[in-house]
Amino acid sequence: MKKGRGILVVLAFMLSLAGCSNFDAIAKGEYAVNGIEYKDNNQFYVDTVDLLLSYIDDGDKDGVKSLLCNGLKNAESIDEDIAALVDGFEGDIIRTTEHEYNTLSSGSYGTKNASAFLSRSFYIITDKQKYGAYIAVCPFDEKHDEGEDLVGVYAIGIRTLDYMAGDVERTQYGTAIEIADSRCYVAHYYGDGNNYLVAQVGTQYDVNELCRIINPESVINYDDLIAWNSRDFGSFQEKFGSPYSESLKNSRENVISDKYIYKIYDSDKYAIVVVFRDSGIINVLSIKDIESRWSEDNKYEYILEKMQEIP
């Protein structure tokens, strides 16, 4: 989280000069922060979220509060909600999944009727815990009468992966209020997410799949794996044992295939096995670093290529 901290500090300073109004100015490209002109709402969202995460990572409750919209800042229990969010957050952030692209935005544009609402769900991995996060930001809102109270970060929800998986019943932590037709809150749901994996299984796009660890002692040998040439998953399990983890999507009905992940001994990479559910035939067997997005340096190594037809 220290990378790029200089830019974030400048952004924080500028936001503090005139409160939430600078969200409006920066988002419209009227300010340049450390040489960066914010003509792109997505980039503004990224820098705002990165700054927020740096405050959470550093345990800076005042920093978190400084980024909130005025409506949340003035909420009755906001200090308690921020304290619970920050104090319960475990470990130092190692990485996050992407929140740089495909930021969902919606708004109404026109003379004196402009608005923008930016949000994204992503994952946070620390050296002690794993979380899912949802953060929503409003750079400017001229559509609603109380739009000025919404400008800033207006929704923060952070959950450990056991809550994300639905294995723990969610209870309400944090008070939600409504501002300019938007639900605003600072909420946390903290349990234990260490029995799960966030697997980056996309190719050209950022695609993350939540997996449950089912056999933490399972480790397989790379040389044995690359020598494998059978598509029978039963035989594969006889050779390598039960999987290290499985996709949560395996519990769904009416799906064609299931996905399993095997940990490889003395390697940062994992074996990904996609199996046709009805036949038990392996569709794809590949190796990849599941903590990083696909790239030229992190391509899939295919042991068994994808079948052209469903058997």
Kindly indicate the confidence band of residue 240, based on its pLDDT and cuts at 50, 70 and 90: very high
Does 310 fall in a domain? no
Q: With 0-12 CB in 10 A as exposed, 13-18 as middle and 19+ as buried, what is 41?
A: buried
Instruction: Please give the pLDDT value at position 309.
Output: 80
Instruction: Please give the pLDDT value at position 41.
Output: 63
Highest mean pLDDT among 35-44, 196-205, 300-309: 300-309
- For the CA atoms of 151, 103, 167, 249, the dihedral, rounded to the nearest 10 degrees, stands at 160
Indicate the DSSP class of residue 267.
S
Residue whose entry in the numeric block shows the structure tokens 């020598």: 227
Per-residue pLDDT at 110 exceeds 70: no
Outline where DSSP puts E strands in the chain. 32-33, 36-37, 93-96, 104-106, 115-126, 130-141, 152-160, 177-179, 182-189, 196-200, 208-213, 245-247, 257-263, 270-276, 282-288, 301-304
Per-residue pLDDT at 165 exceeds 80: yes
Neighbour-count burial for 52-77, b at 16+ CB within 10 Å, e otherwise: bbbbbbbeebebbbbbbbbbbbebee
Q: Residue 99 is part of which domain span? A: 5-189
Instruction: Please give the pLDDT value at position 100.
Output: 59
63 and 104 fall within a common domain: yes
Per-residue pLDDT at 21 exceeds 50: no
Question: In the structure encoding, which two tokens stand for residue 16, read together?
Answer: 């503090």
Does 235 fall in a domain? yes
Mean pLDDT calculated for residue range 262-290: 94
- Other C-beta atoms lying within 10 Å of the C-beta of residue 297: 7
Does 311 fall in a domain? no
Nearest to 225 by CA among 305, 299, 304: 304
Instruction: Please give the pLDDT value at position 171.
Output: 75
Instruction: Please give the pLDDT value at position 5.
Output: 45
85 and 167 fall within a common domain: yes
200 and 185 fall within a common domain: no
Chain CA centroid to CA 242, Å? 28
Instruction: Please give the pLDDT value at position 143.
Output: 73
Domain finish residue from 189, 206, 226: 189
Helix then strand count (H, E) for the chain reads 9, 16
Our count of domains for the chain comes to 2
Instruction: Please give the pLDDT value at position 6.
Output: 42
Does 260 fall in a domain? yes
Does 11 fall in a domain? yes
Per-residue pLDDT at 22 exceeds 60: no
Kindly indicate the confidence band of residue 299, based on its pLDDT and cuts at 50, 70 and 90: confident
Higher pLDDT, 151 or 11: 151
Does 309 fall in a domain? no
80 and 162 fall within a common domain: yes
260 and 123 fall within a common domain: no
Mean pLDDT calculated for residue range 189-195: 94
30 and 168 fall within a common domain: yes
Mean pLDDT calculated for residue range 145-174: 87
* Average pLDDT in the chain: 82
Q: Report the length, in residues, of the chain.
A: 311
Kindly indicate the confidence band of residue 180, based on its pLDDT and cuts at 50, 70 and 90: confident
Domain finish residue from 189, 212, 243: 189
Instruction: Please give the pLDDT value at position 39.
Output: 54
SS (H, E, C) 88-145: CCCCCEEEECCCCCCCEEECCCCCCCCEEEEEEEEEEEECCCEEEEEEEEEEEECCCC
Return the amino acid letter for 280. G
Q: With 0-12 CB in 10 A as exposed, 13-18 as middle and 19+ as buried, what is 109?
A: exposed
